[in-house]
Amino acid sequence: MSDKDLQDQQPAPPSGEKLQKVLARIGVGSRRDVEAWISQGRIKVNGVAATLGLRVDLHDAITVDGKLIKRVEAAEATRRVVMYNKPDGEICTRDDPEGRPTVFDRLPRPKEGRWINIGRLDINTTGLLLFTTDGELANRLMHPSYEMDREYAVRVRGEVDDDMIDRLKAGVMLEDGPAKFTDIQKAPGGEGFNHWYHCVVMEGRNREVRRLWESQGVVVSRLKRVRFGPVFLNSDLPMGRWREMSQGEIDILAAEVGLQPVALPALNLKAKDKLERLQRKSTRPLGRGERVRTLRPAQGDAAPAERPARAPREETPRGKPNRGSAVAERPSEMRKRPARPDGDKPAGRGRGKPRG
């Protein structure tokens, strides 16, 4: 049999892309969400219930809960990212049956797709949240294989000694498996039994930071995320406000998880002016009518809610370089070096070390 005959008998390569990847990329939901919807029979392709692994192209009609998903080829390559400083009392879901405020309430509405939150914070945790319209970017940033470290400023109430720190860094057994901090640094602030630390985890498990400390018999009285991978929460982003990342910042973030750059969508003059107005408003401190609920100071600690979490990062000596690039640096660091025209920041390498 000739080589040509053998080639003719080989099956043709599958066409199209996997359904969950397509829907994630256009912002319908994360891959994990879409896979769950497929298993529940909520998604149909050309009128037939979808199955896991099904491939689709632009000619296929996709419905979710009976609603047709509008697909435009250009829109499927849209990648926008916003940073949000989450206040206490907001939940990381789109709709809450109890009517509580959500992290999506203050975000601008994207013209194409919808915002996908990259990870979650529980209702009592404040700090950095990232949102994107690119489901593939969200999936990679959350996947454990890409080892995106998360840094938290945490105030611990109780006696903490060197043996406890060593145990937390070596690993302890929680109810859902072993867990550990890749690094812990003591930070200035607090008094009596209240002490501030900066700690790093490589996973995004539910309440992982709180449960790690509580496994040692101490209580977490305040918790704030200050870094996700190469992205830092700056002191110039007030609580309850958001900021859209620039092209250069997004490209750095995407390169961390092996994705090629995607150009931001072009805006006409009217849309650009509107976005700039929203951006200026989002960087102003909250007014009287916009106050957000903050954690009540612990007994004997009268310091403001946000001040202790920021001071350690400015006063602690700089440690080893972080894994990835400093996408958003603190204002004090930005003043020490000339700004680049596109907003890019110099890259550094390292793994799992808190920034000082």
Residues with a known catalytic role: 122
Using CA atoms, how far apart are residues 243 and 241, in angstroms rounded to an integer?
A: 7
* Burial tier of 144 (Cβ tally within 10 Å: 0-12, 13-18, 19+): exposed
